[in-house]
Every structure is written in structure tokens, then in C-alpha cells.
Structure 1
């Protein structure tokens, strides 16, 4: 194993401006962690919205500079203090502080606490696992939340917003596989045919979906929803969800503020379920990855994948932040 590794380095210069570069670092400089720790050779990483923010030094994501983004890793154990992880074993590392306050997966090596590491389950190839990544893990949590709150396949139509993004596109595939009637909301007309191929029974233009009126309730249309957008999109979904429905909320690309009333909750008894992937407890984390490797495994994963190099990441980050990105950009390391 080489004594250096290549990584995507984000730092601030003397003027306080964020700079990006791809550099070689010494293995001796890997962040130290408390034992038991695992050192992983990164085989695959990916681009998520949180990574795009980290790559540009967003203060809500990056707490310390210099920094390495990347909240998704599929790799092989180099060495470990924990006997449950053997040298050469393929593992998944997502969430926790990876790529935020801890150097992340846009790197040929990482060193993390053993409590962050999940064995790759049978039924998933490494490439499939990285296409899923945090996006698939989050999508599966959203589906789990709907089911937990009684929104089943026969309950009525379920809406998925931000439908061409990574989380939403996988959520559509899982829901469709489970027999749900899925309506996909998207502002990208060129993606409508893909959305139907992934399992959406109906595709709604974002401008036709959003209702900016101040009415506290709108016609009850949806049994539930997966919202990856936030802002006025989530506000509309709250007002159009039917009695005892549930919305799983996991994104804020459309805004972090929420202007609503208590009427959807008091008069229709709906549930707004917040989805946090980073700190998901390990028992649930293992359950979800096993589901994604078996009965919830999307059939169209390769259709989502766009393979790029480490050098391509700056352009991909710009595309994502401009709202022009779709599917899953994966990076072989």
C-alpha cells in the first residue's frame, strides 16, 4: 500500500477565499480517531448536494479548514482495530461526520471510527452500493417512514418532489417496486420520460404543482409524499396531503424556511417526518442496507449513474448548485 494518497483539498487562502485543489497527502497525515478505528482504501465515492456545499466551503457544512468533502465511501479495509472488520473486507461508510467535520471520501484513503462502518451486504455489488449511497439510504428511510405512519401501497397516490435528483429518483424506484402509485414533481421537462421509466405513474411540472396562495388547506390529493426540496414545495405538499397522510422531508434545495399553519396537522392529522441520514442508529442503518440489497433494491440503478473522475468534480459541483444535475455522479478512486 502506498504511503501517500490523492484527495480533493478545500482550504481558505490568506484573504479568506475558498480554494480547491487535488493534491497528494501522506498517509501519516490521515486524521486520527479514537480506537477502535478502521482505515479504508476508497474504491468509490460520489457527489451529493451536501458535498457540493462542502466543496465550496459552506459554513453550515464545513466546520474546519482544510477539508476533504465526500459523505459516501465504498472501499476495502486496509487495517482495523476492530476484529469484526478484516483486511480486504468491502465496507460502506456514509453519514456521521464523514465529509463534514471529518475528512471525507473524496480521497483514496480514509480513517474513521469502527462505529461508522457497515459491511457490504450480500446482494449488493460495490458499484451498486455507491450508486445508492447516502441518496439511496435516505430514500429508503423516507419509504420506511411512510410505511411506519400507515401510508401503504393501496392508500392512494404518493408524490415525490425534486424528482430527478438522487434521493427522489431512488425513492420513485423503491416506491414503484413496492406497488405505490407515484406522482413525480420536476422542473426539468427533459427528465419526464426518465421519471416514467423509473416508475412514476404521473409527472407534474413543478410550476403546476406549487400553490403560492395563503389558503391554509387545499384539496386533499395525496396519501403521502417524499419531499427533497423544502420551501414552497413542501408548503404546498403539506396543504394537499389527505387525512392521516405522512410526508417524509429530507431536503432544502428549494429553501430552508417553512411558512405553514397548524391546520394540516390538527384538521387532517398528517405527520411531517424529518429524515436525518447522518446520525441514523446502527440497527436501523443495517436494516435499511439489507433492504436495499434485497426486496427494496431498485431495478434501474445503472440508469441513474454518471461516472466521473476526481478531476471532473468541480464542474459537477457547479452543475449541481445551479440545479442542472440529475441522477447520481459516482467517482472511481
Structure 2
């Protein structure tokens, strides 16, 4: 699916930035038998931004994308995309969106160019425009040399790029990316990230589902965390880190020999309660967990009182992976070149 000109947008009264809302979801529910894949999901995606939707396998991410792209009907709730109701206006909606799923869905018997041209014609692009867009996107995704080869001869990364190109053939206003870099090698993953950034620079709104924390950090301006069909947290990346609580004070003494004595001194003072100071000899620093500004001041005062010369003192928020673990009780996935079959189970929900 791909897109044309946006005919309308929905404005939400409580939108703090005053920007237009490209995707609006209210109370979305979807059951599969006894399983509640979505359980009252609320979500807003501002126009021209990337919303990252995080969650473990089975959280409901793919179900959400399928409903928003009109591939599934919700049991209840409301959702609009680019101003169109996903239930009442699916035909109009399909013309203003693009969709790339977890696995490339191109026709492997057709050459890359014909895949793109066919999709352009299915979107009612004139023949000349469909040809022009096919040529343009093949060049943009570095596939021109493979344009006449059947897609079955493409590598996994090439198929993914062709799939992304297909989703862009009609200039989508909103692009849904459902775990788009699953199974890709690091180089190809970076190429996909660069292309997504370019799309957003062109004004496309992106809803990205992912389990990869690095991917979320690279692409998303805001995050929504879902688990067991419910939204359990949302906001900017730094905002979510702050919500989880806890900072780390990194103290780097000028003399590395002071590391362990200083760690023992700070732990002996009991400033951080039951938390202990960690020695990081590789970076020549101490990692001191702190929960408040008062603790931070006390640690700095203790270091100064001991007469230790310090090269640097910095504070660090939790990593996004730590945020994910804190919110869901699960560790996030680690990108890998090959993806076990088990990870495909989420396609069902």
C-alpha cells in the first residue's frame, strides 16, 4: 500500500504542541478467541514524526499496525489515519498510507522494476508516472543495477529495500513499519534507518514497531510501550528514562589508584542506601547509583572532603533497555543476523 495527497487531518484538543495528529487511536480492542490482543489502546502520532511502539513478542504491536492499515477490523474503539476512519473509510485510507511488514512481501517472480511499476499501476498512477517512480525509487534505494533481475535472486537486505521502495511508490502521508529490520545484518539495518530518516525529512509520518532499543533511539521522537495489549507508558525517550527513576553518577578520579578506596569510602558512608558503588576500571571511573539531588550533592561533597582530584563527574539516565526491562519485566531483543522461527509467533497477534 502507498499514498497520495492527504485530504484531511485530525486535530486533538489536548495536543500540547498544537501540531496536527496524523494517527489517532482511542479505546482500540481486538480479541482472538480468549486472547485480548489489544485492550483499550490510546495513541496519538504527530504529523511528520516517528512514533516508536515498543513491546515484547505478543504485546499487540502487529495487531495494532494491521488494524491501522485496514488489514484487520477492531472489535471496538476508534482510529483515524490521515483524517480517515479505518473502519468506515478503508478504501480512501489505503491510498494515503504505506506498509512494510516484518518480512518482505514482494513478488519474487517479478524483477524489482516490475514489482514497483505494478504497485504504481494498482494505485492508479498513470503509466508514465508509475515508470518514473519505479526508476526514481530503485535509484534511491541503490537497486538500479538489479532492476531487471527477479526479486528471488535478491539478498535479504535488497528485498527489504525493495519492500520499502514499494511502500513509498505513491508518496504516502503515513508509513507503517512493523519491525522493518528483523533479520537484517548491521550494515543493511543502518541503510534502512538512513532511508527512514530521509522519508521523515520529506514530511512522512512513521509509526514504527520494534523490539530493538538502538532502533528506537535512532529513529523515534516519541515512544509508546505496550504489553499484553495495553499501553503502559509513553512520551519522549528522555521523559521515559526519567519516569523509571534512578540516575548514575559517574566519577572519574585523576588517579586510577583511588578508584577502589573511594568506592569503599562512599559505600561506608551509606549515602546511597543499600545500593553499592561499582568500579569500572576500563573507563577509570566509579558508577554511583543516586535517586535524588540530595544524594548527588552528598556524594560530590564526600569526594571533595576526601581531597581527591577528580577529572570529571557526570550524571547518566538509565539506558532505554533498562527502561524497557523496568516497564515490561522483559529484556528487549538484541539485533541479530538470523532470527529464530520462534520470533515469528507475534504475527498471530
Question: TM-score band (shorter)?
Answer: under 0.3
Question: Which has the higher relative contact order, 1 or 2, with Cα contacts under 8 A spaced 6 or more apart?
Answer: 2
**Bigger radius of gyration:** 2
Which of the two has greater helix per residue? 2
TM-score scaled to structure 1, two decimals? 0.25
